[in-house]
Chains A and B, each alone.
Chain A
Amino acid sequence: MDLSIFLILLQDGVINGAIYALLGLSLVLVFTVTRVIFIPQGEFVSFGALTLALLERGQTPATIWLLLALGVVSAVAQVWQGRRTLSARRVLAIAGTDLALPAAVAAVTMLLAPMKPPVAVQIALTLAIITPMGPYIYRMAFQPLAEASTLVLLIAAIGVHLALTGLGLVFFGAEGSRTEPFSSAMFEIGSLLVSGQSLWIMGVTAALVAALGAFFELTLTGKALRATAVNRLGARLVGIAPSMSSAIAFTLAGFIGALSGVLVSPLTTIYYDTGFLIGLKGFVAAIIAGLASYPIAGAAAILVGVVEALASFWASSFKEVIVFLIIIPVLLWRTWGAPVVEEDDH
Chain B
Amino acid sequence: MKKAFRIAAFTAAVTISVSALGLIASGSVARAADPVRIGVTVSSTGPAASLGIPEANAVALLAKEVAGHPVQYIVLDDGTDTTKGVANMRKFISEEKVDAVVGSSVTPVTLAMVEVGAENKVPVVSLAANAKIVEPVDDKRKWAFKTPQNDRLMAKGIADHMAANGVKSVGFIGFTDAYGEGWLEEIKPALESKGIKLVAVERYNRPDTSVTGQALKLMAAKPDAIMVAGAGTPAALPARTLKERGFKGPIYQTHGAANNDFLRVGGKDVEGSVLPAGPVLVADQLPDNHPSKKVAQKFIADYEAKYGKGSVSTFGAHMYDAGLLLQAAIPAALKVAKPGTPEFRAALRDAIENAKDVVYTQGVVNMTPTDHVGQDDRARVMVQIKDGAWKLLPAGK
Contacts and interface: CB of A to CB of B under 8 A. Distances in A.
So, do A and B actually touch in the complex, CB under 8 Å? yes
A267 interface: yes
Contact of A268 (B47, B50, B203, B210): B210
Contacts of A43: none
B204 to A, nearest CB: 6
Given A5-B220, A173-B50, A316-B214, 13 more contacts: A12-B210, A175-B50, A175-B233, A177-B264, A267-B210, A271-B234, A278-B209, A312-B204, A312-B212, A312-B214, A314-B213, A317-B176, A317-B203
A12 B261 contact: no
Interface in B180-238: 202-214, 216-217, 220, 232-234, 236-237
A200 to B, nearest CB: 15
Nearest to B173: A316
Interface string B120-143: 000000000000000000000000
Contacts of B245: 8
A178 B212 CA distance: 17
A228 interface: no
B265 interface: yes
B53 interface: yes
Please list the 5 inter-chain residue pairs (A to B) with the smallest Cβ-Cβ separation, ordered nearest first.
A312-B213, A313-B213, A174-B49, A175-B261, A174-B50
B265 A269 contact: yes
A308 B265 CA distance: 24
Given A174-B53, A269-B236, A271-B233, A8 B212 contact: yes
B236 A312 contact: no
A217 interface: no
A40 to B, nearest CB: 16
Interface of B: 45, 47, 49-50, 52-53, 176, 202-214, 216-217, 220, 232-234, 236-237, 245, 259, 261-262, 264-265
Interface in A10-59: 12, 15-16, 19
A137 interface: no
Interface string A253-270: 000000000001001111
Nearest to A176: B233
A312 B45 contact: no
B232 A309 contact: no
20 contacts: A9-B216, A12-B210, A169-B45, A173-B53, A174-B53, A175-B261, A267-B209, A268-B209, A269-B237, A271-B233, A271-B234, A273-B47, A278-B209, A309-B210, A310-B213, A312-B204, A312-B210, A314-B213, A316-B203, A316-B213
B265 A177 contact: yes
Given A166-B45, A178-B265, A317-B203, A269 B234 contact: yes
A176 B260 CA distance: 11
A278 B204 CA distance: 15
A277 B172 CA distance: 24
A175 B233 CA distance: 6
Contacts of B236: 178, 269
Given A174-B49, A175-B50, A309 B207 contact: no
A311 interface: yes
A167 to B, nearest CB: 12
A238 B262 CA distance: 56
B185 to A, nearest CB: 14
B234 A309 contact: no
A225 B33 CA distance: 68
A16 B47 CA distance: 22
Nearest to A175: B261
A282 to B, nearest CB: 12
Contacts, number: 100
State the main secondary structure of chain A at its contact with B.
Answer: helix
A117 B47 CA distance: 34
Contact of A273 (B207, B209, B232): B207
Contacts of A271: 206-207, 233-234
Nearest to A271: B207
Interface in A135-193: 166, 169, 173-178
Nearest to A313: B213
Contacts of A175: 50, 232-233, 259, 261-262, 265
A8 B209 contact: no
Contact of A309 (B206, B213, B233, B261): B213
A136 to B, nearest CB: 24
Contacts of A310: 213
Nearest to B202: A316
A309 B216 CA distance: 11
Contacts of A15: 210
A313 B217 contact: yes
A84 to B, nearest CB: 35
A117 B53 CA distance: 32
Indicate the member of B176, B203, B233, B236 with the most A CB atoms within 10 Å.
Answer: B233
B47 to A, nearest CB: 8
Contacts of B234: 176, 269, 271
A269 B211 CA distance: 11
Contact of A312 (B50, B52, B211, B259): B211
A16 B209 contact: yes
A278 B205 CA distance: 12
Contacts of A16: 209-210
B209 to A, nearest CB: 4
Contacts of B45: 166, 169
A276 B233 CA distance: 18
B248 to A, nearest CB: 16
Nearest to A309: B213
A175 B235 CA distance: 11
B213 A274 contact: no
A18 to B, nearest CB: 12
A317 B172 CA distance: 13
A16 B211 CA distance: 11
A264 B208 CA distance: 12
B217 A269 contact: no
B50 A277 contact: no
A9 B176 contact: no
A316 B233 contact: no
A268 B237 contact: yes
Nearest to A15: B210
A274 B233 CA distance: 13
B213 A176 contact: no
A174 B216 contact: no
B52 to A, nearest CB: 8
B213 A9 contact: yes
Nearest to B54: A174
A177 B245 CA distance: 21
- Most chain B CB within a 10 A radius of its CB, from A269, A277, A319: A269
Contacts of B216: 5, 8-9, 313
B341 to A, nearest CB: 38
